[in-house]
Amino acid sequence: MGRSRSSSCSTVSMFLVVTLIMVMVNQSYSAGREFTTGKENTIDYADALTKSILFYEGQRSGKLPGNQRMTWRKDSALNDGSLIGVDLSGGYYDAGDNLKFNFPMAFTTTVLAWSVLEFGQLMGSDLQYAIDAIKWSTYYLIKCTNNPGVIYVQVGEPNSDHGCWDRPEDMDTDRMSYAINTTHPGSEVSAEMAAALAASSIVFKSNDPVYSKILLDRATQVFNFANAYQGNCNDCLRPFVCPFYCDWSGFQDELAWGALWLYKATHQPSYLDILNTANYVAYAHEFGWDNKDAGINVLATIELLLNGSSLSEHLSNNGEDYRLNADRFVCGILPENPTSVTYSPGGLMHKKEGSYMQVPGAISFLALVYALHLNGVNQAIDCPDGTHVTPQKMVAIAKSQVDYILGNNPLSMSYMVGYDGTPYFETSNPNPNLLIGAVVGGPDMMDQFADNRAQYAASEPTTYINAPLTGLFAYFAHNN
């Protein structure tokens, strides 16, 4: 996400900056090549898991609960939505700013829910906190969709917010609310919100069936809106969503993504009909808040592996194109011959993204989940160039990225961080508050980290960087 901030705002009490927490770790596998840090400490994945979930408490907006563990974060933005007579308090600030963008927030929620579905049994005492993190978002998304025909998709005016570096507790910038409706649609953001609600409904299905049904009913309503009134949010809210969270890939991927999650939650073939109608089988390696292509192919293939003919008979070409593209996704990230990513000398995956760490986390999560399901049916991947890729190799690639993030890199430091405000924006002194568990944008293509608060691509943490890492940490905490 592109942004810049100045220190010119009227609030006196301000402190929201990024600081780096250094962690020295040991030698580990790094993207198909050996990299030695010279350290003997072991990586503590369980600790990383705990902190990755704790991070979300620091991003909370609204009235905080009594069990809030990130105690320096206080109540904020309690009057969101009041200018238009609705309650839009709650939800998450997406990054180092005080804005609430529903597009990345919904994607964060979808992936966090997927992480719990795949790895919740490995999270131990952290599971309940992960579920709480999901509910904090879904409760807000429900507020945003209470009025039929209107969906609130953003709170906060980006330009004024980015021009003022202050705590959300102290902010006095504009808190405008922005919505889409039947004449000004936004299928990408509404379909992603539907995906988040549907995925979360599965998380709550066994332990809170009443709330699960509420989520699923709302997911259905929101997806029907996204599908019936198709269009890009960019077109009606461009000055407020661009260039921050423009949907560069169009909305068809979100419609397919939402339909797939609603199928997973309901097993109703009508959602597969929507998938077929969209004719959406994209060969692409992208996965993030903007582009869901690789996620669609992997999720559809996993469903095929789990459900077999009962699913394939409802998909065009029996769903074989999804499997083909999921396999090609894996073949494109192989360290010995990468075609869809570039590896830094130290072994970190890169693409042209706003925040560098979006890529290795999201892609590694897909690779790991796909690998485990392939392993469950004793299958592997054969790439067009003849390379045979076992699930174990896919897991090793994912582990190499996790280990790099946690310290097995040329700088021998972890990229988990904290953030705080304007008086400290240009200082190198320690920050008064640490957002424990946040992962910053990270190093560049040459493994160099710009420890500079003004360079957001390197220094800014985001919710959607953390979301896929939570599942990865849970798995490797028990499978090192």
Closest CA to 228 of 181, 281, 193, 195: 181
296: tokens are: 């669609």
Pair 141, 46: CB distance under 8 Å: no
> Is residue 335 reached through a cis peptide bond, with omega within 30 degrees of 0 on the bond before it?
no
Active site residue 460: yes
What separation in angstroms does the CA of 185 have from each of 42, 159, 181, 197, 305? Answer: 50, 23, 5, 19, 35
3-state SS, residue 275: helix
Element (H, E) at 155: strand 150-155
156 phi/psi in degrees, rounded to 5: 110, 135
Q: What's the one-letter identity of residue 438?
A: A
What separation in angstroms does the CA of 434 have from each of 43, 54, 271, 390, 474? Answer: 21, 11, 43, 40, 22
CA distance 393 to 371: 9
| Cα angle 389-116-155, degrees, rounded to a multiple of 5 | 115
Pair 345, 353: CB distance under 8 Å: no
Q: Which of 132, 208, 320, 451 is catalytic?
A: 451
Q: Which of 166, 293, 327, 460 is catalytic?
A: 460
CA distance 367 to 361: 10
Strands 150-155 and 100-101: antiparallel
What separation in angstroms does the CA of 396 have from each of 118, 232, 343, 480? Answer: 18, 38, 15, 10
DSSP secondary structure letter of residue 100: E
3-state SS, residue 426: coil
Closest CA to 187 of 249, 266, 271: 249
3-state SS, residue 64: coil
Element (H, E) at 418: strand 416-419
CA distance 210 to 44: 37
Q: CB neighbours of 396 closer than 8 A, spacing ≥ 6?
A: 29
Kindly list the catalytic residues. 451, 460
